[in-house]
């Protein structure tokens, strides 16, 4: 049996006089980053295949609908033309809903990527004794994290937390901002 090298330093499983809660915190942060990254990578491939399939199917349905409309529309075929076109339109409508769901998935993966990068930055800061006790380093990290947000609602929540609000209050602000945005943009969903 091959013996594996033990990781440097003391751990919670093998504590000694060198044991550090900081090192344990960093390990747990690294684990969280690894889990997020793995989940995103595992799901990206499947979602990519689904998105491509739905886009291709939508194109095919549009072609079928166009071809049916190009056929002679006499009394005998009129009902069939109407039925086929109706079914095609229904399928296109449902596929557009699926594409919208993929857009929300994309937003989710962007957020998880931001969380992963933020945790990684925090772990690096905590693991650097020269930076750990420097308020300017913490400010830089917070500015970097905030700069990655693409939605104003995320910045509202971030600002609330960094001003000292608890999570419940910050989430309430976020949800209020999201509802206001939704009212402003009602029906303005971009399809690709």
Q: Please check the confidence at residue 2 and state whether its pLDDT lies above 50.
A: no
Check residue 44 and give its pLDDT.
80
Q: Is 9 helix (H, G, I), strand (E, B) or coil?
A: coil
Check residue 6 and give its pLDDT.
38
Other Cβ atoms within 10 Å of 88 Cβ, number: 20
Q: Please check the confidence at residue 186 and state whether its pLDDT lies above 80.
A: no
CA neighbor of 47 nearest in space, from 98, 111, 116, 114: 98
- pTM for this predicted structure: 0.66
Q: Please check the confidence at residue 136 and state whether its pLDDT lies above 90.
A: yes
Sequence-distant (≥ 6) Cβ neighbours of residue 167 within 8 angstroms: 161
Tokens read off for 157: 């929540």
Q: What are the residue ranges spanned by the domains of the chain?
A: 21-132
């Amino acid at each position: 049996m091959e013996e594996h090298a033990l990781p440097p330093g003391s751990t919670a499983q093998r504590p000694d006089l060198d044991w550090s809660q900081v090192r344990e915190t960093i390990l747990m942060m690294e684990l969280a980053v690894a889990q997020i990254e793995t989940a995103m990578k595992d799901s990206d491939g499947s979602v990519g295949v689904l998105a491509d399939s739905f886009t291709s199917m939508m194109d095919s349905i549009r072609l079928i609908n166009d071809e049916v409309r190009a056929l002679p529309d006499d009394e005998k075929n009129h009902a069939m033309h109407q039925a086929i076109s109706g079914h095609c339109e229904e399928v296109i409508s449902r596929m557009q809903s699926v594409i919208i769901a993929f857009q929300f998935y994309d937003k989710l993966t962007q957020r998880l990527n931001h969380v992963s990068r933020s945790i990684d930055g925090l772990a690096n800061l905590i693991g650097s004794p020269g930076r750990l006790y420097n308020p300017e380093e913490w400010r830089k990290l917070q500015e970097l994290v905030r700069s990655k947000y693409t939605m104003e609602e995320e910045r509202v929540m971030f600002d609330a937390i960094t001003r000292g609000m608890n999570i419940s209050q910050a989430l309430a602000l976020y949800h209020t901002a999201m509802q206001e945005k939704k009212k402003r943009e009602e029906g303005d969903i971009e399809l690709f």
